[in-house]
Amino acid sequence: MFDSRALLVAAAAVTGFAGLPSEAEALTPLSLDLAIDPTVTEGPSEHAVLAPSSFERAPDEAYEPIARVTNYRSRLQCVPFARRESGVEIYGNANTWWVQAQGRYETAEAPTEGAVMVLHGYNTNTRGHVAVVKEQVSPRLVIVDHANWLNGGEITRDVPIMDVSEAGDWSQVRVWNVPGRHWGGRTYRVQGFILNMLTEQARAEQVQQTAMLHETSGEAVPLS
């Protein structure tokens, strides 16, 4: 009775294949295929054609928010939270931040990660809100962290904000409603974005103030 190897040798002899493995070599599934059918190659699988040829980003509407309230008891207003998270040292009501930033901090009309988004109050300029941009998902969708949006002093993280302006210039936005897990119905006007980067003039003034302090105290001014 022939064993399995003898049968393979016989099959190879019939097909004219001479590349059989030695006794010391293991017969892998590929080597078995080669022994029986020499036309088998080591090329890509026939299933490779099913793989996507390129990656396409899902539309903003398909984004699945993970927004959540992380601290209900923080009792924080939006201003101290934004100051702590962004490093932008501005004080006072949120509706004054944009004016205070002029000439002191670099500002932008479009979002940048780490920047402070400054919003007008709903249908009023007497109130405002500030939030910190955590991530830019697309040209018209960002993720922010902020405090007291629900007026309970809470901290809310990973909150989507969508640009809904006709020009796509981030002048108007809608904010994700965390408790209801849907987009809020109100549209808010954006004043702009404050970067944690002093203007050239502000940096010069800071250097001058530092020099004056050292001069008053009698200490040598460190070379920068």
User: For residue 155, how many C-alpha atoms fall within 13 Å in the half-sphere facing its CB?
Assistant: 15
For 15-54, the pLDDT digits (tens) are: 555 554 444 444 444 444 444 444 545 554 444 445 455 5
Task: Identify whether the C-beta of residue 65 lies closer than 8 Å to the C-beta of residue 158.
Answer: yes
Those residues whose C-beta lies under 8 Å from the C-beta of residue 43, and which sit 6 or more positions away, are: none
Q: What share of the chain is helix, strand, coil (3-state, %, to 5)?
A: 30, 30, 45
Structure tokens at 52: 């996507």
| Residues 6 or more apart in contact with residue 173 via CB below 8 angstroms | 119, 161, 162, 163, 164, 165, 187, 188, 190
Higher per-residue pLDDT: 142 or 3? 142
How far, in Å, CA of 67 to CA of 4, rounded? 62
- Distance (Å, rounded) from C-alpha 198 to C-alpha 90? 12
Quote the CA–CA distance of 5 and 22 in Å, as a whole number: 11
Domains and CATH numbers, the chain: 4-38 (no CATH), 60-199 (3.90.1720.10)
163-211 residue pLDDT tens:
999 999 999 999 999 999 999 999 999 999 999 999 999 988 888 888 8
Site of tokens 């954006």: 190
6-22: average pLDDT: 54
Query: pTM for the full model?
Result: 0.69
CA distance 154 to 134: 17
